[in-house]
Chain A
Amino acid sequence: MNEEYLKLVNEFIEGSDLTEVEISAEDFSIKILKSAKQTSATPMEAFETKENKTKEKEFFEVLSPAPGRFLRADTPSHPPLAVVGSKVKAGQKVGVIEALSVRKDVISGVEGTVVQVLVENNEFVEYNQPLMFIKPGV
């Protein structure tokens, strides 16, 4: 499976209402989960549905270390620190959170491959919000 293929799958899910896709072929199989949209439900709706929100986690979630803006690159002229298909090491910087000019590194907790980036560049995120999914493995 190549990166190009993974990107295509990712774009397909992003543009659809599907929340889960499983693809099996001779030499590989992959399952992709789309994170629940955090902004669409009002807090009260979230309260009513909070019981159903836990999902089986097959991928490692990279979480935001603070509330702030998620930046995918160190500066706008630099390439993103991680894209779908990137191989990352545990402890590797994969993004930045900026809040009132203070920056915090977003770190991957595992070694693996980035399978999905959940947040747009410069989007405001809360503490602990999932930013990307990483499929663990060397």
Chain B
Amino acid sequence: MFKKVLVANRGEIAIRIIRAAKELGIKTVAIYSLADSESLHRFYADEAVCIGPGEPAESYLNMHAIITVAIEKGCDSIHPGYGFLAENPDFAKLCEDYNIKFIGPTREQIEKMGKKDEAKRIVKSYGVPVVPGSDGCVDINDPKLFKIVKQIGFPVIIKAAAGGGGKGMRIVKSFDELNTQIEVAKQEAKGAFGDDSVYIEKYLENPRHIEVQILGDKYGNVVSFPERDCTIQRRHQKLIEETPSPVINERLRKKLLKAARRAARAVKYLNAGTVEFIYKDGEFYFIEMNTRIQVEHTITEMITGIDLVKEQFRIAAGEKLEYDSDDLEIRGHAIQCRINAEDPENGFIPQAGTITKWIQPGGPGVRVDTHCYSGYTIPPYYDSLLAKVCVMGHRGRSVAIDRMKRVLGEFIVEGIPTTIPFHKKVLEHSVFNSSEYGTRFVEDYYGV
């Protein structure tokens, strides 16, 4: 096992990783930006080093500074968390060059799966269902474009090959707007990811977002976990996640999990990853693979009792997965609400400022992951996630929903607006309770 890990992240996920490392007896080194001098993650680690100013490019994305600190502090491993450098193949390579273990998949796997069109091609060849589409990148001058689109049928969606988070995406309903929208998507993709390649897919209206957590070890073992349902989103940002999905039955789950394992095996996947699907009318389609630990890994931990971050360390250290997908039992229904520093009454605008009062909920079946406390000032540089509130109900979804309502009622945050009131409304909504909705739920019922 590793002796010392550098945690190349901030906020709640840095704390999450520090906790796992401590329980495994691994010493921890936190890095922090000047803007994060008050952030809890730097205080929880055994050592902490300020690596740059608040701007992410100068701190949490500064590979040179991070590797310098890792070497100076004698770290044998780096955990990237999610975001920042987690899916940057160059960083994984740099760690390799300096003989520091990158806790995650290999550089090649990050590269392959990071290109969405290539990932689709790879998993398709392994029999994983994918959304019908262009099978590679497209351009307006492509003579095959017309034929491809005619075959797929409108509406179609243009997506950035290097993309994520909704950037570089355009829905097109007719040939009249096709060329213009491809141009717009390319420009957006260029600006956001520095790569203007785009591809076309059939646009499935209002589907469910279903994803499967997987773990792979270096001996070729792949374990899949019960699916997570992340359908409640706003502009492709997940707000509420739950597991298992209320719309996937046992027969479908078997098929889905098998497809996810196949996708992982297609690239001999190592460490933790998530295979994302969209689901509509009884059919599911692969959309992409995330080559990192995800924000919502918590709910999978709740219902299976497996510590996924510890598993990441173990796998990276060369240990073997000692259990099979079939060995996992679903112990209940878990829900996570992402509490963001955003004003739901005002277009979900991210807020910076000082939290004057912070009282966390607790009680049975509750888990809160956060880096916040009373008196903490939220810096303006980073994402607006303040806390992940997770609950589990042993007797199904409605028990979990009731518990979440109780828990959010206990959560007191003063000084800045948060998404707590919005979550409370969703939990009361009859459509949410009926579980008959798609990814357009927030837009349809709240107009935001």
Q: What's the Cα separation between A10 and B2 when bound, in Å?
A: 43
B50 and A128 form a contact (CB under 8 A): yes
Name A62-86 residues within 8 Å CB distance of B: 66-69
A50 and B38 form a contact (CB under 8 A): yes
Asked if A47 is at the interface (CB within 8 A of a chain B CB), the reply is: yes
**Could you name 6 residue pairs across A and B whose Cβ atoms are closer than 8 Å?**
A43-B42, A43-B45, A99-B68, A100-B68, A124-B72, A127-B50
Contacts of A127 in B (CB 8 A): 34, 49-53, 59, 65
B51 and A126 form a contact (CB under 8 A): yes
Instruction: Select which of B43, B49, B53 is within 8 A of A126 by beta carbon.
Output: B49
Asked if A46 is at the interface (CB within 8 A of a chain B CB), the reply is: yes
- Please report the number of residue pairs spanning A and B whose Cβ atoms sit closer than 8 angstroms: 53
- B 63-84 binary contact with A (CB < 8 Å = 1; else 0): 0110111011000000000000
Contacts A99-B64, A124-B72 given; indicate if A43 touches B50 (C-beta within 8 A): no
Chain A interface residue count, CB cutoff 8 Å, equals: 18
B46 and A100 form a contact (CB under 8 A): no
Residue with the highest number of chain B CB atoms closer than 10 Å, among A68, A126, A127: A127
By size class, the interface of chain B is 20 to 34
A129 and B50 form a contact (CB under 8 A): yes
- B 25-53 binary contact with A (CB < 8 Å = 1; else 0): 00000100010001010111111111111
Instruction: Select which of B40, B43, B45, B72 is within 8 A of A67 by beta carbon.
Output: B72
Min CB distance, A56 to chain B, in Å? 19
Q: What's the Cα separation between A122 and B31 when bound, in Å?
A: 21
Min CB distance, B33 to chain A, in Å? 8
Min CB distance, B121 to chain A, in Å? 37
Asked if A44 is at the interface (CB within 8 A of a chain B CB), the reply is: yes
Contacts of A43 in B (CB 8 A): 30, 42-48
A100 and B64 form a contact (CB under 8 A): yes
Residue of A nearest to B33 (CB): A127
Asked if A16 is at the interface (CB within 8 A of a chain B CB), the reply is: no
Residue of B nearest to A44 (CB): B43
**Which 8 residue pairs of A and B lie closest in terms of their CB atoms, listed nearest first?**
A47-B43, A99-B68, A126-B50, A43-B43, A124-B72, A127-B50, A126-B49, A43-B48
B43 and A68 form a contact (CB under 8 A): no
Residue of A nearest to B73 (CB): A124
Residue of A nearest to B31 (CB): A67
Name A111-133 residues within 8 Å CB distance of B: 124, 126-129
Contacts of A124 in B (CB 8 A): 72
Residue with the highest number of chain B CB atoms closer than 10 Å, among A50, A69, A128: A128
Contacts of B50 in A (CB 8 A): 67, 126-129
Residue of A nearest to B68 (CB): A99
Q: What's the Cα separation between A42 and B49 when bound, in Å?
A: 12
Contacts of A126 in B (CB 8 A): 49-51, 69
Min CB distance, B446 to chain A, in Å? 39
Instruction: Select which of A46, A66, A69 is within 8 A of B52 by beta carbon.
Output: A66
Contacts of B38 in A (CB 8 A): 50
Asked if A102 is at the interface (CB within 8 A of a chain B CB), the reply is: yes
- A 20-63 binary contact with B (CB < 8 Å = 1; else 0): 00000000000000000000001110110010000000000000
A67 and B65 form a contact (CB under 8 A): yes
Q: What's the Cα separation between A44 and B67 when bound, in Å?
A: 24
Contacts of A128 in B (CB 8 A): 34, 50
Contacts A100-B64, A102-B64 given; indicate if A42 touches B52 (C-beta within 8 A): no
Q: What's the Cα separation between A67 and B52 when bound, in Å?
A: 8
A44 and B44 form a contact (CB under 8 A): yes
B34 and A100 form a contact (CB under 8 A): no
Min CB distance, B40 to chain A, in Å? 8
Residue of B nearest to A65 (CB): B52
Residue with the highest number of chain A CB atoms closer than 10 Å, among B30, B38, B47, B52: B52
Q: What's the Cα separation between A124 and B68 when bound, in Å?
A: 10
Residue of B nearest to A51 (CB): B375
Residue with the highest number of chain B CB atoms closer than 10 Å, among A43, A50, A129: A43
Q: What's the Cα separation between A121 and B49 when bound, in Å?
A: 19
Contacts of A68 in B (CB 8 A): 68, 72
Contacts of B46 in A (CB 8 A): 42-43
Min CB distance, B4 to chain A, in Å? 15
Q: What's the Cα separation between A49 and B59 when bound, in Å?
A: 25
Residue of B nearest to A102 (CB): B64
Residue with the highest number of chain B CB atoms closer than 10 Å, among A50, A67, A126, A128: A67
Q: What's the Cα separation between A9 and B72 when bound, in Å?
A: 33
- B 137-155 binary contact with A (CB < 8 Å = 1; else 0): 0000000000000000000
